[in-house]
Structure 1
């Protein structure tokens, strides 16, 4: 990552503190955070912490002063700052004062040692950085497991008080709420339907703590939704609850089989050298870009003019997607292809046949899947075309004039061009219809 020039030595900074630091935070920074983010980031945090009492709020300190404090070049200080931001220990704000950048570094509260060991993602990362022996030593030293308190029967505000009279519809909806799912990058509605299809009570599985664990493991191991579902099913207990340790192990096993890497460790993110994505110019490029970003459910609704996707179609898509391990963009192309080839009917047998072929081809993007589908379709059409050398048995060879051959070749070329124009027109018509449906659905 090129960080030269991101911050200048003459740029000023102030330091503030979100809230008071917990007891034992120095132990957390030294023994728990430092293995993850390095000594430079920890030194920067501690320096900024002690700068709070030393700073003049009317005149900001410069980053040149910070370089002298830490005896570090500014690019290393900038990288250390990014690590603090990424791990959740720092928030940075920038403003202009007299055409000069001034930063506010707001220190966030680190976990105490006991709280650190309750965060599943940090816990897993620390384990991979330190190894089993050192990790268990720290856990035994800092984490004191609390005795089981029993069932929490404390009355909540809504159990005691009421500020309005709910109508009958609200009473019928039950206690389960989907509000938490909006805060996560994973579609818990999809997972809830998957569990209900298997007669598993979603309410027991999708608790607040389990949702947090699911999101953390998905983020840590960079898993797809269907891979998370597979790990959840593996970790279910006989009482239909989620065993957290089994779930974490299952996620790690999926990660190992997927990437075949030796360890999970925090590393600096490499800046992409690829050119920025260009604006789609053709209708096909527009379609590919759309298929890369939407969910299969949204695609079905777009193709049906905004109507809700049926439970049966979603069940077919879910089963094919999870059994073959297709990424969502590839699944979208498969749905589009099958619907166009089957007169807008979602044939499960036809979809499974193609999905197994695409899975073996290891397709990852909508563009790859679209090109692969076209190639296979053209190959099939050529293989089923009548052979040019199929003559009747009583065919007698005669001398054919050159002018007749030329005319026959010209007619054949005209027919080929006409067929290509018809196919291109048909494909353009299909793209027009699909993009029109998508546009109308988005407006609604």
Structure 2
């Protein structure tokens, strides 16, 4: 998302770099082998340049020196910076008084083992490098199983070497506890809003399903929040999914089995998950509808807005592909997971983006590069509501048409000068859709949404 401070992010602006701890050798291996395919070469170079600045004795720098060292422009720098921020490797701070100044705080990368254990990171990596390379990397960083069958362990025990008295322990306990609380591990996990779920309710429901409440660790909460955001699963549904992956012997949850169950059930989301039909007739919705119609929106736009707000992105995508007679591919699952996790766009706006690509542009499946390009453009232009997304698309189409007409006029004067359109890059991929086909798909979508209620 584009913020006002970015206007002041210019080559002459001053910055300083901080990092809590030196970069470990494991962190460096993770950056080069695991993070780099995802973030790109410019972002990786930016991380190491900032790390070098941190290790130097100089306290402040200007961005021009950094741009010269990277051999990139300010626009490419902003893209690289956002890639580091989005994946949890960089935090950026800004102040205007007494001077414009930026503070870059480098975060420690996940260790290779923690990276590959992280569900979302693994998804991002396998999409970039492919399954064969992903398996190769997994073998490279997998902990080795040390065979000791023919040996007898004779290791000296801790207590036989190190001793301390209870009196000494009590005398130093407060100091030790205060220090251990201050030293926290760097938080490089991707941020998810865990407040979306009622954890007290979920814990109570889990206990009734013989799930050990202690299993609700931060890692599991992160996964459950992602499943809620992606597929729209509520607390009851998430508990039922966990119950299928729990060991009745000790109440522990197999995280890998849970992930497989969640994604397997997502394929049957149409038949297994009831859709909440939007309330088209409430007083509040009628007033909202009349306001939008007065602003130039059509009835078809209105129904599209309601549908986008009623469903989670994965459920919306499954319904949309089914209405076209298709299905959701694994690449589309990974792409949408990445989009929901990293993009600041609300889920309703993401749904409008899906509708724009698959219905307006009549794509057979989501193109990765174009989808991310549009999502970045909408984020930077602060498209936060479905109606704003629809207006933005309409505005872009009109500007493209106007530019096309202008090119026709100019072509009679010269054939050597190509006019550059002042439009987002993704608008150049605009194709003219068949209005009849588009209306047919919209009608089929509403029939799928309302099927559970018997509405026509």
TM-score by length of 2: 0.47
Looking at CA atoms only, which structure, 1 or 2, has the larger radius of gyration?
1
